[in-house]
Structure 1
Amino acid sequence: MIALKNIRVIDLTQVMAGPYCSMLLADMGADVIKVEPPGKGENTRQMGPPFVNGESGAFLSVNRNKRGMTINLKTEEGKKLFHKLATTADVVVENYRPGVVRRLGIDYETLSGINPRIVYCSISGFGQTGPYSNRGGYDLIAQGMTGIMSVTGERGGNPVKCGLPITDLGAGMFACYGILTALLAREHTGKGQYVDTSLFEAGIAMSVWESTEYWYSGQIPQPTGSGHRISTPYQAFKASDGYFTVGADAPHHWPKFCEIIRLPNLPYDERFIDGTVRLKNLSELILLVEEQTKNQTRSYWMEKFEDAGIPAGPIQTYAESLCDEHTLSRKMVTNLEHPIAGSIKALGIPVKLSETPGEIKSPAPLLGEHTEEILQEIGFENEEIKRMRQNGIA
């Protein structure tokens, strides 16, 4: 059995946050029906490079395990078709700008009137309420406005965007969490509900250390490079063949760390005697440490620190990370066969369930690939399906 086997999700989303949310549900067995407009489909199908035999890598990366269907929601017949589909669904996920779904007649109020058990999730840049709710939302904008860019980068440097689309992915995960919570509540109440989250709130919610520093110290958080906000040494250091990270901030790790890097007297130096003063003199500490670490390879230091029980790891490129033996042993890389792109790789499922594990069983759908199949499931006859297809309704 797969955990969400009997849950049907209608996916009206595009680009990153919404598709990522619905993919997480699909990986755990939900029947996710990706609804796109006829013709070109959602915007991500045209995003690239990279393209694989004309198929967008960006689209393939967040739409696996879904079935694809086309509906022209700008027509009255298309709207009625969507309403009929919604009567069979448990969840609807959308990430239009606020107000669009209401104009289309596919908003929560409309659908809950048709199907009171529906859980309806909206993901937007800034949420459905508040002074910024009507603004367009992009990961870059959310990272800037929530403070993330102000604390990313080297000390004293310019603001830098996080290398990952962190508010997009975060909003997708929070949306998934909200949907599953609402589905669990429905087991007790019998009713669905509205779930509202945003890129902006994801950025704020993940700023745990930074908000703490500001509220409890009065200091405005600044960039720390690879370092930690309140602990040191907990950062990257240079080796002869690249960089590695080490977390030797615990009291029992600090003296061992100093012995390994051949600076056994450092723990008794007044500039570095405890964590508080080490943070104040961090620049000096880094210079002293790297004078030692740059003379040996990453693997040399990894072996030394591992033997001493000090957490450490090499800074790897994605070429190294995706081929790492641990990555592969945890099944975080998988292979799929796509009818056009051919053999493609995909990231694995990061949560392992012992009794109802997820499964990656199909690549992202072709545009409208399962339209006829789904229409038949909800009661349409072949002649009616043929007419709707010819008229651009589905």
Structure 2
Amino acid sequence: MSEPISEPTPDAAPPAGAHAAPLAGMKVVDLSKILAGPYVTMSLADLGAEVVKVEHPAGGDPTRGWGPPFNGPDATYYLAANRNKRSVTLDLKSPAGQRAVHRMLADADVLVENFRPGSSLARAFDYRELCERYPRLVLLHISAFGESGPLRDEPGYDMVAQASAGLMSLTGEPDGPPLKAGYAMGDLGAALFGLVGVNAALVERERTGRGQYVTTSLYESQLALHINWATGYFATGERPARLGSGHPSLVPYQAYAAADGHFVIAVGNDVLFRRLCEALGHPEWAGDPRFATNRDRVAHRTALNAKLEAVLVDRGVDHWCALLGPLGVPVAPIRSLDEVYACPQTEALGMVQQVDHPDVGPLRQVAFPVNFRGVRPSVRSAPPKLGQHSREVLAELGYDKAGIDRLLHPEAPRDDTHGA
């Protein structure tokens, strides 16, 4: 009889450990840059895969310079999405650099790239050739606008995706300008869907023995995240309006000003609304025909919010959270990042891990947000310095010292008496 599985107690901090590595043994070649692709490969690395990040010798991933802030020689933007990887510098436009990548692909499981369609690199690493040459390879291509349509060849950054795919039209106050989301939702949305696609393809490969070409884009991912906004538009044909922190289908469900700051109330049904009204000393609001049901409250959003705002501004955030929370009314203070990372809940979850960086010493990282049998994947190594592992990785690929020198310093005189 097998040993019973010991489950962690609900209030125990999930330990960080190397055992949470479901993708251990997988090899990933990362030819991507900026955020969407690197976030996919960092996630695969967090899950145990061995990831080699290939960067151009002249500066590497552009996000290394996207600062301030900097921490050591690299911007914190780069440090956020590249841990648990090894860095190799190669000129991918050179035949020698391309041959080196093909050596990596010979036993790789996954390739991630975000080459612009039609570019010289997209032609050099054409997916049809790669799929034929490496039939077990799962190739993820992330683009700005997808594989077809009039915009397929256009480049794009997160801001472009948020604008062109509608997110900015939904973000901001009703009487204010469109705003981008605080997070890079275009890039991160594509990264998360790309991660799902890669793992699904790896599962399918277990059945078929063949890899495949997986694609997603910033634009497609944003459309997929519209969810209720899109279905509402399909049903009514009406252009949605910006609602600030409000919800198109629920009221009250937004941020409110208290005497000393802001907090949110999230009322999802009529029972909760009655509890809210009683706690605020106005049980009569629940019987007002304008507010009796959620449908009524949505129709009379402005009138109800005016009543709520007049009451809530008299007391502080802590007062309202302490009053409403025990009644089951969903409520929370709006925290800044310094408060989030000082919060006991953040600490209890073990979501911040520390790793040593060769230049800056202890480096804190936000860990992978999924546990496996109570164990969180570990931050095993710091985001690599540019080319930190070039010689190590190239030696593993079979290059001798002279061959490595020629790859890393192509301007040096060549000695063709040596091997690869």
TM-score norm. by structure 2 comes to: 0.90
Asked if residue 177 in structure 1 is aligned to residue 196 in structure 2, the reply is yes
1:369-388, aligned counterparts within 5 Å? 369-388=388-407
- Secondary structure of 1:284's aligned partner: helix
C-alpha distance in 2, partners of 1:123/1:294?
46
3-state SS of paired residue (2:33): coil
1:193 to 204, 209, 212: 212
1:127 corresponds to 2:162:
no
Q: Residues 128 and 184 (structure 1 numbering): CA distance in 2 closer, same or farther, change over 3 Å? A: same
Secondary structure of the residue aligned to 2:365 is strand
Give, in angstroms, the shift of residue 357 of structure 1.
4.4
Q: Secondary structure at the match of 2:57?
A: coil
Report the CA distance between 1:355 and its aligned residue. Answer: 7.1
Task: State the partner residue of 2:230.
Answer: 211
Cα distance change, pair 50–197 in 1 and its aligned pair in 2 (3 A): same
Which residue among 142, 155, 168 is the counterpart of 1:149? 168
The answer on whether the counterparts of 2:90 and 2:407 sit within 8 Å (CA) in structure 1 is no
Deviation at 1:386, TM superposition (A): 2.9
The corresponding residue for 1:349 is: 368
Structure 2: distance between partners of 1:35 and 1:347: 23
Q: 2:351 aligns with which of 321, 332, 353?
A: 332
The answer (yes or no) to whether the contact 2:63–2:75 under 8 Å persists in 1 is: yes
What is the CA distance between 1:101 and its match in structure 2?
Answer: 5.8
In the alignment, which residue of structure 1 is the partner of 2:252? 233
Partner residue, 1:34: 53
- The CA deviation at 1:383 is 3.2
In the TM superposition, what is the alpha-carbon distance from 1:203 to its structure 2 partner?
0.7
Matches within 5 A, 1:22-171: 22-100=41-119, 105-171=124-190
Q: In structure 2, do the counterparts of structure 1 residues 197 and 360 end up closer, same or farther at CA, with 3 Å as the change threshold?
A: same
Query: The residue matched to 1:121 in structure 2 has which SS?
Result: strand
Query: Displacement of 1:384 after TM fit?
Result: 2.4
User: How much has 1:73 moved relative to structure 2?
Assistant: 1.3
User: What SS class does the counterpart of residue 345 from structure 1 fall into?
Assistant: strand
Kept after mapping to 1: 8 A contact 2:142/2:215: yes
Q: CA RMSD in A?
A: 1.7
Contact 1:123 1:196 survives alignment (8 Å): yes
What is the 5 A alignment of 1:234-383?
A: 234-354=253-373, 357-383=376-402
Contact 1:61–1:346 at 8 Å: present in 2 too?
A: yes
Q: Contact conserved, 1:3 with 1:356, CA < 8 A, in 2?
A: no
| CA apart distance, 1:360 | 0.8
Gaps (5+ residues) in structure 1? Answer: none
SS of 2:377's equivalent in the other structure is coil
- 1:387 maps to a residue whose letter is R
Q: Which amino acid aligns with 1:243?
A: H
User: Contact 2:24/2:47 (CA < 8 Å) preserved in 1?
Assistant: yes
Counterpart code for 2:409: Q
Residues 22 and 101 (structure 1), Cα distance of their counterparts in 2 relative to 1, 3 Å cut: farther
Q: Deviations over 1:95-118 (max 9, x none)?
A: 121122655522222222321101
TM-score, length-scaled by structure 1: 0.96
**Which of 30, 39, 48 is the equivalent residue of 1:11?**
30
Q: Deviations along 1:139-158, whole A, 9 cap, x unmatched?
A: 11111111111111112332
Farther off after superposition, 354-363 or 258-267: 354-363
Q: CA 1:222 to 1:261, structure 2 compared with 1: closer, same or farther past 3 Å?
A: same
Amino acid at match of 2:258: A
Moved more, 131-140 or 370-379: 370-379
Deviates more, 1:329-338 or 1:95-104: 95-104
Bigger shift: residues 338-347 or 129-138? 338-347
**Which moved further from structure 2: 369-378 or 308-317?**
369-378
Structure 2 gap ranges (5+): 1-18, 413-419
How far the C-alpha of 1:39 sits from its partner, in A, is: 2.7
- 1:42 deviates by 1.8
Distance 1:252 1:351, change over 3 A: same
Q: Check whether the contact 2:64–2:74 (CA below 8 A) recurs between aligned residues.
A: yes
Change (3 A) 1:355 1:230: closer
Percent same amino acid at aligned positions? 37
- Distance change in 2, residues 1:100/1:392 (3 Å): farther
CA contact (8 A) 2:112 2:140 kept: yes
1:44-74 per-position Cα deviation (integer Å, ceiling 9, x unaligned): 1111111123321111110011111111111
Q: Which amino acid aligns with 1:388?
A: L
